[in-house]
Amino acid sequence: MHIQAENVEEARELFDDMERQGLASNVATFNTLIDASCKAGKMTNAENFKSLMIDHGVFPSVSTYKCLISGFCKEGNMEANTYREMDDEGLRVNLFTYNVLIGALCKKGLSRKAKEGKKAKIVTYNVLIKGLCFKGKLEEANELLNEILEKGLIPNPTIYEIDKEEMIENGFIPDIDGHLDFVTLTFR
């Protein structure tokens, strides 16, 4: 089922008819409604569909979160907890989702803020480092890791896991400028 963004209300009526007839909805049904809501800029509707999805015992997928992240990024809302929720659910972000996040961060100037030393949240660094690793820009990812440590921020284990998986496995040995003891303890 494909829904044009302007037909979200009609799609909701069709969904309600399906429920009245006892037809079961699946992840594809909900993702279609969530995606159309996001494209229409109706993020409250999209989140309501995600809640309804969970209420129906259907668990959000990577695609569900990709739609939500894309929608929030398009409206400039980088504070939404969607990325964190996805991570908490144990779902791995795919390359498309990273590209959406990095593009939105760059549009909002958050990557520049991180470089200029302005306050950036650890999750911002996480997203940027993951994205740089996926793009093969391992030296830049390592520079951001050093920035985190130099600013006295406490990296979460995910950042070091990224280093281990993406950098070391690709033959790049990170230079952690005097922070090797901290990294070694984290890898154990």
Residue type, 64: T
Q: Give residue 81's pLDDT.
A: 78
Q: Give residue 188's pLDDT.
A: 42
Q: What six digits make up the tokens of 154?
A: 């406490």
User: Could you tell me how far CA 128 lies from the centroid of its own chain?
Assistant: 11
Q: Give residue 46's pLDDT.
A: 93
Question: Comparing C-alpha atoms, which of 106, 108, 98, 85 is closest to residue 166?
Answer: 98
Which residues fall within 8 angstroms of residue 163, CB to CB, at 6 or more apart? Answer: 141, 142, 145, 174, 183
Q: Give residue 4's pLDDT.
A: 56
How far separated are the first and last CA of the chain, in Å rounded? 47
Q: Give residue 61's pLDDT.
A: 92
List per-block mean pLDDT (blocks of 10 residues) for the chain, which spans 188 residues: 62 82 88 91 92 93 91 79 81 75 66 50 73 77 80 73 70 58 44
- As a residue count, the chain comes to 188
Is residue 175 within 8 Å of residue 167, measured between CB atoms? Answer: no
Query: CA neighbours within 13 Å on the CB side: how many for 161?
Result: 4
* Per-domain boundaries in the chain: 1-93, 109-188
Is residue 134 within 8 Å of residue 95, measured between CB atoms? Answer: yes
Is residue 60 within 8 Å of residue 93, measured between CB atoms? Answer: no
Q: Give residue 185's pLDDT.
A: 42
Q: What six digits make up the tokens of 98?
A: 């990273």
* Verdict on whether the full-model pTM lies above 0.85: no
